[in-house]
Structure 1
Amino acid sequence: MSRFLSNELNNLEAYVPGEQPKDVKYIKLNTNESPYPPSPKVIEAINKLAVEGLNLYSDPDTRELTLSLAKFYSVKPEQIFVGNGSDEVLAFIFRAFFDKERKGCFPDITYGFYKVYAKSFGIDANQIPLRDDFTIDINNYINCGRNIIIANPNAPTGLVLSHEEIIKILKTNTDRVVVIDEAYVDFGSKSCIDLINSNHNLIVVQTFSKSRSLAGGRIGYAIASEEIIEDLNKIKFSFSPYNINSLSSIAGIASVKDEAYFHECNKKVIRTRERVKEEFRKLGFKVLDTKTNFVFVSHEDMAAREYHKKIRENGVLTRYYDEARIDNYVRITIGTDEEMNEVMKITEKILIEFASLGKVI
């Protein structure tokens, strides 16, 4: 690093994204992308814009995309903020509502960017341990006196808090913002968007990256009270007014309008996930009861690091976390049925090879 880097950021540990290899063709199940392409209507809209509108700046208000989302979720357009992926939305939330007086908290095992943002913005943030079974103990958040951020479903565990549990957290922290990050909500859990009008401290964050097959489009959004959205826009227009490019915006609009395709793809992912969970269990794996587009698995006879390495050698990318408490688990994105059939075949082969060697790794 250079000698010019700010002292405050000198010891910053950056977020490490999932591997994006260019050299070899893998079954890529390490970054929770959708295995399905975007809606055909998205492709049609992008092709049209590519020859008609890229000479002009994108709409800084993302008006049409905001209107589409407002209609889809039955909220006011003024209750929606759109960002360059949910990561940017989360960064703006940290910048707007967290400071030295308004401290934060989130689980110790969760999306890694929360810790990075807290460090980046100089925020005192408690990392509250999950229970031994990786569930969140809401008693740690009731009347906690801090801003709260919870991924629901959580990552990388895939586990979910109920509406009732979230309401208890909201009602006992009315002077603090409660951020519910719903990146995976469309794969079988219930959104908290219906709680926004009765809880003005709630911010719900979602993304187009997972359930809408637009990870490369970089579109995320927050839904909250009009006052909170006004605050976020103030931050945005002080930093990056044209944060959503025209191609992403038009793709997002087309995606939201094609509800049938959206629901069809999510149902396929859920169906495959439930089948795969049972197949992993039959092979002796512990599988958490995920409500996401991934599974989090552990095997008593084989270290997760070794399984991650072996399955990669057989052409499958997964995500391994070399972190305390979860270093014996591997996260595997749900791919197509054909891809997951291959994963199960390779996994069974790996287990047979170890058994034949009489090894417990």
Structure 2
Amino acid sequence: MSRYWSRIVHELTPYTPGEQPRVADLVKLNTNENPYGPSPKALAAIAEATSDQLRLYPEPTGQALRAAIAVSHGLSESEVFVGNGSDEVLAHTFQALLKQEGPLLFPDISYSFYPTYCALFGITARAVPLADDFTIDPADYDRPCGAIILPNPNAPTGIALPLSAIEALVARHADVPVVIDEAYVDFGAESASSLIARHPNLLVIQTFSKSRALAGLRVGFAMGQRPLIEALERVKDSFNSYPLDRLALAGATASWLDRDWFEEKRALIIAGRDCLSAELAELGFTVLPSAANFIFARHPDHSGAVLAAALRERRVLVRHFKKDRIQDFLRITIGTEAECDRLVAALTEILAEQG
């Protein structure tokens, strides 16, 4: 605390990111990173961009990257916005679109950055409880509001809504912005980008951090009809006109165009998720149905906090949330086959010890 702080700083409860420890021989399954590394073509593009050209500012709109994304989703370049990770894109979205007269609605168990943004930007919010089975019921959002944001698949549950349910929700709330946060969409859900042409109130946000294995490069993007994208651009150009550097633009564009690498690694993660879910079920865990690159599981006879601590002692890191309804769950990133085997072996040992 300091007397030099602005008033708002005193009132903030900052988001707590997943731990990034420097520990040897660690199985790191706590931050939903891709275990297989980026596309070799992305690495080559980054190396090529590491030249004397770094003395120059990057192209401020990310034109080549926006063009590549637009083609894949049947959009125009003007309907794509790129930013320094999807967190920055989300921050601009909260400022540009979600601060309305009515409250912003989002799930009570969801991405914990949402309430942080609301506090930072002075946005009135209402958390909508998940159903008893931890699913999002779109009917629960049929209430007066100023805007809606939903992750699909949701995090940390991993449960996805079908595209038909998303479209019905967007259509029922045609007078307010509806944002679908698709950080994990590539692992089992269907993108709402196909709905953009029919719904001017829809914004879809994705990231290169998960399925493209570029969490360290910080690249995210949004898709929507031109007026929504223009709103993001106006905020961005009032904050930072050059959000993506030359290396990020080069690497992300090459990664996006390497479809073969993307499909191969995505298939490995999905297969690993199915295998790990079955193995945990055999150990007595309840595993929620996941469409993401992680699973959300609890054991009926053991505390989530105790299990997470015991795993940590064995150099296996998972994510545990101290929050009502989910305090006994572990969120476990899908790692390589060897990493998942080590996790299962550690849990088998822990459960045997604890009885």
Scaled by the length of structure 2, the TM-score of the pair is 0.98
Note if contact 2:89-2:220 (Cα within 8 Å) is conserved in structure 1: yes
Aligned equivalent of 1:257 = 257
Deviates most, 96-105 or 69-78: 96-105
Which letter does structure 1 place at the counterpart of 2:38? Answer: P
Aligned equivalent of 2:340 = 340
| Distance in 1 (alpha carbons) for counterparts of 2:25 and 2:5 | 38
The equivalences for 1:129-144 within 5 A come to 129-144=129-144
Note if contact 2:98-2:177 (Cα within 8 Å) is conserved in structure 1: no
Which letter does structure 2 place at the counterpart of 1:235? Answer: V
The equivalences for 1:17-36 within 5 A come to 17-36=17-36
Deviation at 1:99, TM superposition (A): 2.7
Q: What SS does structure 2 have at the residue aligned with 1:317?
A: strand
The equivalences for 1:279-294 within 5 A come to 279-294=279-294
Q: What SS does structure 2 have at the residue aligned with 1:296?
A: strand
Q: What SS does structure 2 have at the residue aligned with 1:216?
A: coil
| Distance in 1 (alpha carbons) for counterparts of 2:100 and 2:282 | 50
Note if contact 1:318-1:333 (Cα within 8 Å) is conserved in structure 2: yes
Deviation at 1:300, TM superposition (A): 1.1
Deviation at 1:111, TM superposition (A): 0.2
Deviates most, 2-11 or 288-297: 2-11
The equivalences for 1:132-171 within 5 A come to 132-171=132-171
Q: Deviations over 1:57-99 (max 9, x none)?
A: 1110111111111122221101000010000001001111233
Aligned equivalent of 1:99 = 99
Which letter does structure 1 place at the counterpart of 2:222? Answer: A
| Distance in 2 (alpha carbons) for counterparts of 1:3 and 1:25 | 43
Aligned equivalent of 1:319 = 319
The equivalences for 1:1-361 within 5 A come to 1-99=1-99, 101-355=101-355
| Distance in 1 (alpha carbons) for counterparts of 2:162 and 2:35 | 28
Which letter does structure 2 place at the counterpart of 1:112? Answer: S
Deviates most, 46-55 or 310-319: 46-55
| Distance in 1 (alpha carbons) for counterparts of 2:100 and 2:150 | 20
Deviation at 1:133, TM superposition (A): 1.1
Q: What SS does structure 1 have at the residue aligned with 2:17?
A: coil
Specify every segment of 5 or more residues in structure 2 that has no aligned partner in the other structure, as ranges.
Answer: none
Q: What SS does structure 2 have at the residue aligned with 1:280?
A: helix
Q: Deviations over 1:304-337 (max 9, x none)?
A: 0010000111111100001111101010100001
Number of aligned positions between the proteins: 355
Scaled by the length of structure 1, the TM-score of the pair is 0.96
Note if contact 2:105-2:145 (Cα within 8 Å) is conserved in structure 1: no
Deviation at 1:6, TM superposition (A): 2.5
